[in-house]
Each structure stands twice: as structure tokens, then as C-alpha cells.
Amino acid sequence: MPSKSRPALEDISDNILLAQRIIEGVRFEQFEKDRILFYAATRCLEIVSEASRSLPQELRERHPALPSRKIRDAGNFYRHQYGNIAEARVWRTIRHSLPALLAVVTFELDRLDADDTG
């Protein structure tokens, strides 16, 4: 039986990787001035946040170091406080916060793959 969390995990992974790709080889000063890069990266973070809302509580409990509530709430901030979103905040999130989330998502996807084949 396919896991209900797989589509959300895949969306999170895909959008983390896309956000990282968007800023790859880009200096912050360029990111800060390029509205297209900023908007694209912010949209990735919105999708990560929204997809995280679909993850079951038991999965979140397996990773207590992950700030699950902040990840889920970030999307509301990006959507409703769009005029207050600082480029530096988006940049820091992609560079410093997403790698840990990607590690958890990769672990969970590998776990599902093992369950599917085992």
C-alpha cells in the first residue's frame, strides 16, 4: 500500500532541490537585486511549507529536532506578509535550514522505499 506521506515528501524534496539550484553560483548581492530569483526561491519555500502540512504527526515525532511547526507556519508568512519578506531571510533559509530538512525527507523516502521492497 503506497504511503500517504510520499507525495508530500517528494514535493518537499523537489522544491528544496529547486530552491538550492536557484541560488547555486549566485552571490547574495545578486539574489537581493534579482526579483525573479527571489520570487522563485520564495515560491519554493511556500510549497515546502504547504507540503509539510500533509506529513503525519508520527513522522514529525520521529524528528523532534526539526522545527515542524515553524516550517508549516512559514508558508502563511510568505503568503500574507509578502511585503515584509527580506531577501536575507529567504537566502539564509535555503542555505542553512533546508539541508537539515532535506536530510530528514531523504531518510523518510528511503524508509518508504525499504518498506515497499521489503
So where are the chain's domains? Answer: 6-113
Nearest alpha-carbon partner for 81 in 49, 34, 51: 49
Q: What is the pLDDT of residues 55-70, one digit of tens each?
A: 999 999 999 998 888 8
Averaged over 37-44, what is the pLDDT?
96
Averaged over 48-56, what is the pLDDT?
94
- 71: pLDDT strictly greater than 70: yes
Q: What is the mean pLDDT of the chain?
A: 91
Cα→Cα distances 20→25, 26, 40, 45, 56, Å: 10, 10, 11, 11, 25
* Confidence label for 1 from pLDDT (cuts 50, 70 and 90): very low
* Cβ(8)–Cβ(104) below 8 Å: no
Summarize the chain as % helix, strand, coil (round to 5). Answer: 80, 0, 20
* Cβ(37)–Cβ(23) below 8 Å: yes
Percent of the chain with pLDDT over 90: 74
Q: What is the pLDDT of residue 69?
A: 86
